[in-house]
Structure 1
Amino acid sequence: MTPVLGRRALNRATLERQMLLQRKQISVTAAIEHLVGMQAQTPHTWYLGLWSRLAGFQPPDASALLEDGSLVRIVLMRGTIHLVTPSDAAALRPLVQPLLDRDLTTNTLHSKPLAGLNLSELAEAGRSLLASSPMTAKQLGAALASQFPSSSPSSLAYAIRNLLPLVQVPPRGLWGRSGPIAHSVLSASGTMSLSQMVLRYLGAFGPASVMDVQKWCGLTRLNEVIDSLRPELLVFQDSSGRELFDLPSAPRPSPETPAPVRFLYDFDNVLLSHADRSRVLTEDFYRQERPRRNYAPQVVLVDGFSAAEWDLADGVLSIRPYGEVDWDAVEAEGLLMPGVESVRRVP
């Protein structure tokens, strides 16, 4: 009989691998590699994701790595910007390239202006322009428009974003600083198979279903990849009977393992990388009224599950619980956050 993992068991396994049960004493680059990158759609909120995971973390630690090129921000999983090491960027980008190619034919804003273009020629033109110096999308689109006058500059720049492995160059994303969204072409090398990618995902997010893996990376038809890995994986079921896969050596703590209060940033992958997000998100999370569609809330985990949302402005950390919480524990953790001077509870 296939063993069943309940919601709390999945929660504790995921939190342990996400370094959210206990802060780890490892380097920033080791953490980023273990997590197979962190979504870094915004310039700065991901720093708080590292603070929640690493003992003694200070934002300038990661900022220096971004500035010297030890970390890069690049479009990868789900077509979103991720913070990764250069070698992982080079290895992962070809694997998710089908997602980005498909986007160029289905994107409602850009597919028509790009129709009929020789995309290989466009990619080479973009690579040539970016070889001399980083360029913003506006600069790149304007430069390409003279060679491809039938398309809008914005669509040409968007196509290069999908066709080439562009990294956002500093000072964009540096702690306490920022700058224009300028790009250069990734120069690192690295290789990875789809099977290796799936195994690394399971190490950071498992146990997980095929649909979970696909949700994380944005690819489809990964059943064959999982099937080829079956001999080396453990197989479980969740409470609904869905098949889950895991690495034999991966930690699966007791469901009763204590889970401390943790603050997650708006694009934290622990919230985005499973088709079934109930291992972390509660029904109360989905009941909340939010300012706009597709708004990405910043979540507070209490006992491992979503229990509140937070915002930080001018040193004041505002926390809005969904219901009753251990406020003393929430406040104590919040006061440790970089940049926080005071904490207030809001209705």
Structure 2
Amino acid sequence: MAPVLSRQTLNRALLSRQLLLSRADISVHDAVAHLYGLQAQAPNPPYVALWNRLDGFAPGELSELIVDRRAVRIALMRGTIHLVTADDYRRLRPLLGPVFERGFATTYGRRLPGLDFDAVAAHGRTLVEEQPRTFAELGVVLAERFPGHDPEALAQVVRARVPLVQVPPRGLWGSSGQAAHTSAESWLGEGSVVAALDDMVLRYLAVYGPASVKDVQAWSGLTRLKEVVERLRPGLAVFRDEHGVELFDLPDAPRPEPGVPAPVRLLGEFDNILLSYADRTRIISEEHRRRVFTVNGIIRSTVLIGGFVAGMWRVERTRGQAVLAVEPFTAFSAADRDAVTREGARLLAFTDPDAAHDVRIG
């Protein structure tokens, strides 16, 4: 019978691999590669994610990686925007094609009956390689070639079939810009690597394991990964959670003792540890998840106390002042309030260095 891992043990394994038990002293590029994709629907969450995880993180280092094209903002897992290294984009995107095709078919495909999608994608590629374009701009120009069709849906054909990079200044710290896209091939140049589902699953387990087949599928957006995990089973460690669900892991991956202390952390919006499992209870209760995950797809910024989500936070900015407003889900102890206040002050020094600061715990 496989050993049973408690929720607390799974929590500490996750925090350890996510560099949240202690901040790591590694390069920004190595951190992005280790984390295997940072959720990046909005420009700033990857910076807050790395601030939480790296010792002495300087946001300009990540901006430089994006400008130098060593890291890219591109739709990948679950069809959502992630920040990844250029090498990991090349490994992941060929594997995730079914995610984009399925997503397009269930949302936009029915709005374009009888259209030659290959022709739309080919023309769309030409257009974004002429100059980076927003989806709204792309849809308008595509509609000139394919009149009578929904411009929004036309742009989504290109998104589904052409890997599109969000180009700077989008995603740079302290800058702003619309989400304009060009093809990954024109941005990064031609390059090929061997892409294998086996490698993808192993990379996932390295940073999120122990995990179930459903967890890997929830993170990636792919289905039918059971046969991949079964192929890998002889080389994996096998456990069960407290509900009897089978979990898989790399044999030598860190699994700290459940009593290892977990420091307070202030996770930003869309942090990956909240989105990368079918069963999220190793980091957030179902009750709290309903408060953090909004109906319009926003994942709010959260407070970790003792390793688990215990509240939410936001920054309120007015007239040269930045206030970190914390909403506890349950009463914080005096020690936890002090720890949240200290960490909040550090976060404001990072996000709003030129403002007056205050931390208010509701």
TM-score range, shorter chain: over 0.9
Provide Cα deviations, 1:252-309, integer angstroms capped at 9, x if missing partner.
0000011000111111110000111000003551464987554421111011001111
The match for 2:132 among 117, 126, 134 is 134
* 2:324 is the alignment partner of 1:317: yes
In 2, Cα distance between equivalents of 1:184 and 1:203: 31
Question: C-alpha root-mean-square deviation of aligned residues, in Å?
Answer: 1.6
* 2:7 is the alignment partner of 1:7: yes
Aligned to 1:18: 18
Aligned to 1:332: 342
Aligned to 2:262: 259
In 2, Cα distance between equivalents of 1:106 and 1:289: 26
The match for 1:168 among 166, 169, 190 is 166
After the TM superposition, which residues 1-347 of structure 1 pair with which residues of structure 2 at under 5 Å, given as runs? 1-107=1-107, 110-187=108-185, 188=188, 189=191, 190-286=193-289, 288=291, 293-314=296-317, 315-325=322-332, 326-337=336-347, 338-340=350-352, 341-347=356-362
Task: Note the residue ranges of structure 1 that are not aligned, 5 or more in a row.
Answer: none
In 2, Cα distance between equivalents of 1:50 and 1:222: 29
Q: What is the TM-score with the length of structure 2 in the denominator? A: 0.92
Provide Cα deviations, 1:228-258, integer angstroms capped at 9, x if missing partner.
0001100000000000000011000000011
Residues 58 and 293 of structure 1: CA distance in aligned 2, closer, same or farther (over 3 Å)? same
Provide Cα deviations, 1:97-151, integer angstroms capped at 9, x if missing partner.
10101112110xx222222221111111111122222112122112211221131
The letter of the residue matching 2:342 is A
The letter of the residue matching 1:336 is R
Please give the secondary structure, in 1, of the residue aligned with 2:64.
Answer: helix
Please give the secondary structure, in 1, of the residue aligned with 2:346.
Answer: coil
In 1, Cα distance between equivalents of 2:224 and 2:294: 35
Please give the secondary structure, in 2, of the residue aligned with 1:177.
Answer: coil
In 1, Cα distance between equivalents of 2:293 and 2:130: 44
In 2, Cα distance between equivalents of 1:164 and 1:331: 45
Pick which of 161-170 and 88-97 moved more.
Answer: 88-97
Please give the secondary structure, in 2, of the residue aligned with 1:241.
Answer: coil
Cα distance, 1:201 vs. partner? 0.2
In 1, Cα distance between equivalents of 2:294 and 2:153: 29
Residues 286 and 267 of structure 1: CA distance in aligned 2, closer, same or farther (over 3 Å)? closer
Q: How many residues align?
A: 345
Identity %: 49
Q: What is the TM-score with the length of structure 1 in the denominator? A: 0.95
Cα distance, 1:192 vs. partner? 2.0
The letter of the residue matching 1:113 is R
Q: Which runs of 4+ in 1 moved over 3 A?
A: 286-295
> Is residue 92–residue 191 contact of structure 1 (8 Å, CA) maintained in 2?
no
In 2, Cα distance between equivalents of 1:149 and 1:66: 36
Which fold has the larger relative contact order, with Cα–Cα distance below 8 Å and residues 6 or more apart in sequence?
1
Provide Cα deviations, 1:175-213, integer angstroms capped at 9, x if missing partner.
111112110100243332001000000001000000000
In 2, Cα distance between equivalents of 1:293 and 1:40: 16
Please give the secondary structure, in 1, of the residue aligned with 2:358.
Answer: strand
Residues 309 and 53 of structure 1: CA distance in aligned 2, closer, same or farther (over 3 Å)? same
